[in-house]
Amino acid sequence: MNAYIDKAVESFRELITEQLERQNRMEAGAEVKDFAHMDKLVIGACGGDGIGPIITKEAERVLAFLLKDEIEAGRVEIRSIDGLTIEKRTEVGKAIPDDTLEALKACDVILKGPTTTPHGGSLESANVAMRRELDLYANVRPVSVPELGIDWVFYRENSEGEYVLGSRGVEIPGKLAMDFKVTTDAGTRRIARAAFEYAKNNGKTNVAIVTKANIMKKTDGKFSAICHEIAADYPGIEAEDWYIDIMTANLVNEARRSQFQVFVLPNLYGDIITDEAAQIQGGVGTAGSANVGDRYAMFEAIHGSAPRMIEMGRGDYANPASILKAAAMLLRHIARVEEAEKLEKALAICNDKLNMTGRPGGATCAEFADAVMATVASL
């Protein structure tokens, strides 16, 4: 038993040293890329697993349609990137194969399909690895249901919490297992700053800081305290503390939910509550997600890879609405606002017009993309 304890202590020492080095790198800062003023911008389209390649292919077609003139002029390039399949990742034993990571780093922004993460084992989530390797620290998810008075934007910390060391816990066989949660000062400051900057720039007056600081006193306590430090720089914006459990209830509380505007929260809570919010909007298939850093940005559908649809031969009937919403967020990020607005308007029209059932009898993924492009052309 002592041998297991000694091994765990040494492993923990390595983790603390590694995380302190990461904190120091964040404090030193990084180059901030100006996506709006680049001579040439490279968009990577990475399909992933299951229905991912199918929906990503259609989103790639729509982006190429919207950016046709810039692509022909050489100002924009769209690159298809393979290698993020579960088969390849399992074969090499890495969340992202080395050659695939190199290809991703050669891009400026990435449109990514869903990827599969096996239950158990040591293979890390490709999403978690990509967020870490590209330092995509802000996960931004908007949710809007105007008829219910809902206009929310979630700023989820994307590189820390339970996820940064999620595959590197310790175990004493037959006795116990421990995983780790990490909250750094620098990591919290930058996600808090991003949330309050968004609120200031978009006329918002309230930011909800969502934690479980009454229980997770060191990590969530630090997150809340630093968010309030940042809030002091924004005197016109109210910062409110909420616990994650009551906030999940308040999102379905019709008397309360329309009062919320911007949320900032640690990684795990953000992962869970944004799916709840998307379900209120119409399901996880209706929501897109942005993963933003200083040098790179990645945009994705928030649903899974739906392997059962592939097994049943229904992959061509997958709904691409979520990844097309992500594509619209990508366009806004690279300052192609007019194209983004056209895509968003077309999506709203096509979501009402097409019958996407996910099975024969409904519209196919390609038919949905065709309808979106035809609608854009008519606007």
Structural domains in the chain?
31-136+293-379 (3.40.718.10)
Instruction: State the residue for tokens 């989103």.
Output: 59
Strand partners, 154: 141, 263
- Residue 50 CB contacts under 8 Å (≥ 6 apart), including other chains: 114, 116, 304, 305, 306, 307, 309, 310, 315
Query: What is d(CA 161, CA 183) in angstroms, rounded to the nearest whole number?
Result: 6
Query: What is the length of the chain?
Result: 379
Instruction: State the residue for tokens 């219910």.
Output: 148
Residue from 68, 55, 111 nearest 369 by CA: 55
Cα dihedral sign, 340-346-351-357: negative
Residue from 59, 41, 53, 49 nearest 95 by CA: 49
pLDDT value, residue 270: 96
pLDDT value, residue 124: 84
pLDDT value, residue 168: 86
**How confident is the model over 227-264, as pLDDT tens digits?**
999 999 999 999 999 999 999 999 999 999 999 999 99
**How confident is the model over 134-169, as pLDDT tens digits?**
999 999 999 989 899 999 999 999 989 998 888 788
Which SS3 state, helix, strand or coil, does residue 290 take?
Answer: strand
The whole model's pTM is what?
0.80
Please, what are the averages of pLDDT over each run of 10 residues along the chain (379 residues)?
A: 85 92 86 83 95 96 98 96 91 94 96 87 83 91 91 94 86 90 96 94 95 97 98 97 98 95 97 93 78 92 89 95 93 92 94 91 96 96
* Chain centre to alpha carbon of residue 15: 25
Outline where 73-201 has alpha helix (H). Answer: 86-92, 98-105, 126-133, 185-201
Residue from 317, 321, 318, 315 nearest 351 by CA: 321
CA angle 263, 36, 208 (to 5 degrees): 5
pLDDT value, residue 285: 66
Q: What b/e readout covers 105-117, taking b as 16+ CB neighbours within 10 angstroms?
A: eebbbbbbbbbbb
pLDDT value, residue 313: 96
pLDDT value, residue 303: 85
